[in-house]
Structure 1
Amino acid sequence: MQIAVTTPTGNVGRHVVTTLIRAGIRPRVLLRDPGRLAPGIRGEVDAVRVDQYDPEAVAAATRAVDALFWVDPTTGSQDPLADYARATAAVVRAVRENCIGRVVFQSSIGAEKRHGAGEIDGLAHTETALDAAAADTGTDVTHLRCGYFFTNLELQLDALRTGTLPVILPLDQPMAWVAPRDIAEVAATRLLSPGWSGRTVQAVHGPADLTWEQVADILTTATGRPIGVERITDEAMRTRLRGTGMTDGLVEAVMGMSTGLREGFVPEQRRTVRTTTPTSLAAWAHAHLRHRLADAPG
């Protein structure tokens, strides 16, 4: 069985790769720079240098594969949704040209809205385009609708060190939080399992829905540092994001992922044993976040 994996050094992709290796698979990994692979991984995979925005390159890199784990690449441009459309065109061409048997796509909670959720709209476009291609080719497709990644907190280390996380969502609004490693486990299982076919959606909700107030309490206990949250205005958040160097287009796309899910949004799939994964935020923060804050003053 030949399985191709995109973003093999990413928060989810690297765990997909190691899970497949442990399952006895030698995956084909697609990335811009094979030199970024961990030394211990290089001898266990077939690495292909590829730009995921290049339809011809993606089609060539996925010839003769049975299954594909696809993640739309990150973008920092002025028009993120145009970049998502370019990546979507590449994966759709690969599916159609190579008649890939199954695709597992890393999507997000909120993609079911289809419009009005900022950057998530790009993932929604990939979902619908893959569905259309699959209808023509007979490809089996699973869309993983993932919750909020624990690792997003690593992008806010400076704020964590000050003891206050700024957010624009209501502090008492619960949402799904999930460990990327758990997403990878679901993805690898879907790639390998013969027990499904057709077009499916698999939500990955983590172990519990958490409010930002609960998150602050968990982080305080796990890291040993007092951490709180503060709701700020949308415009204040825009100013913060622009201060990190984001383009105006990217700022609006990032903002939309929160504002678009802020009022009355309910995920298409509810929390069940199928959508619940085990790793807690407390365990992840103690293992991965605590040491990164340990040397900060406070």
Structure 2
Amino acid sequence: MRIAVTTPTGNVGRHVVAMLVRAGIRPRALLRDPARLASPVRDEVDAVPVDLYDAEAVAAATEGVDALFWVDPPAVGEDPLADYARATAAVVRAVTGNGIGRVVFQSSVGAEKRHGAGEIDGLAHTETALDGLGVDVTHLRCGYFFTNLGYQLDALRAGTLQVTYPLDHSMPWVAPRDIAEVAVGRLLSPDWSGRCVQAVHGPADLTWRQVADILTAATGRKIHVEQVPDDTLRAQLRLAGMPDKRVEAMLGMATGLREDFVPEQRRTVRTTTPTTLAAWAYDHLRHQLADGS
């Protein structure tokens, strides 16, 4: 089986590549700069330099591919939803032009809303576009990544975790490696077809108060969590130079999901993955915080 992997150095993609290699697959790794691949990995993959926003380039890079793990690349412009639209056009061009019959797409909890969830609306757009192609596609509706805590390393070193959610708001938290495991299982399994939605919820839904307690125990640093008003965060992001459309897209991911949102898929044994936030924080976040202290 010929499998292409996008964002192969990302939080999820690097694990997808490693798991495919261990399964005996030589994946095709699509990224801007192949030099970013870890040196031991380069000998085990076919690395192709490509801009994932360039539809013709993506089509050329995926010629002859049977299956594709697609991640919309990080938004880079002033309007994130416009960037998602460009990425969607690229994957559609690749799938249709090359007859790729199987796609596993890294989406998010909240994409089922289709509208009103900030940047997640961009993932919803990719979902609906892939649905219209008539190929076998699985949308991975992932929970909140543990690695998102990396955006607040300085605040965490100071003992503070700032959020725009109510502190008792409960949501699924998941390790990127566990997402990769589900993705690879889907890529390699012959026992599914058509359009599928596979939620990836991690081992537990956690409130932000619980998250702060877990991080305190795992890192040995007292972490206090506080809810920040939307306008305060909006002002902070603008002060940092973020364009208005990016600010609203970022805020929208929280405001669109924090009230009256029910995921399409409830937590079940099928959606529950094993890695706990406590284990991940002890293995990874503890060292990241220590490195900057």
Contact 2:104 2:139 in 1 (8 A): yes
Across the two proteins, how many residue pairs are aligned to each other? Answer: 293
Q: CA deviation at 1:296?
A: 5.2
Q: 2:140 aligns with which of 124, 128, 144?
A: 144
User: How far apart, in 2, do the equivalents of 1:294 and 1:83 lie?
Assistant: 35
Report whether the alignment pairs 1:112 with 2:112.
yes
**TM-score (structure 1 length as normaliser):** 0.97
After superposition, the Cα gap between the structure-2 partners of 1:2 and 1:295, relative to the gap in structure 1 and judged at 3 Å, is closer
Alignment partners' CA distance in 2, 1:84 and 1:6: 15
Cα pair 1:147 1:204 within 8 Å, conserved: yes
The residue aligned with 1:68 is 68
Task: Say which SS state the counterpart of residue 106 (structure 1) adopts.
Answer: strand
The answer as to whether partners of 2:6 and 2:70 remain within 8 angstroms in 1 is: yes
Q: What aligned pairs does 1:1-298 form with structure 2 within 5 A after superposition? A: 1-133=1-133, 135=134, 139-295=135-291
Distance, in Å, in 1 between the alignment partners of 2:26 and 2:277 is 31
Report how far residue 239 of structure 1 moved: 2.1
SS in 2 for 1:40: helix
1:245: how far off? Answer: 3.7
How far does residue 267 in structure 1 lie from its aligned partner after superposition?
0.5
Matched to 1:258, the amino acid is A
Q: Helix, strand or coil: the match of 1:294?
A: helix
CA drift at 1:161: 1.1
Deviations 1:241-276 (A, max 9, x none): 234442221111110000000111010000001000
C-alpha separation between the residues in 2 aligned to 1:295 and 1:34?
27
Of stretches 274-283 and 229-238 in structure 1, the one that deviates more from structure 2 is 229-238
Fraction of identical pairs, as percent: 77
Residue 286 (structure 1) shift: 0.3
Aligned mates of 1:295, 1:144 — CA distance in 2: 33
2:166–2:227 contact (8 Å) kept in structure 1 = yes
Unaligned runs of 5+ in 1: none
How far 1:79 moved relative to its partner?
0.4
Tell me the secondary structure at the aligned position of residue 44 of structure 1: coil
Contact 1:216 1:229 in 2 (8 A): yes
Query: Structure 2 stretches of 5 or more lacking a match?
Result: none
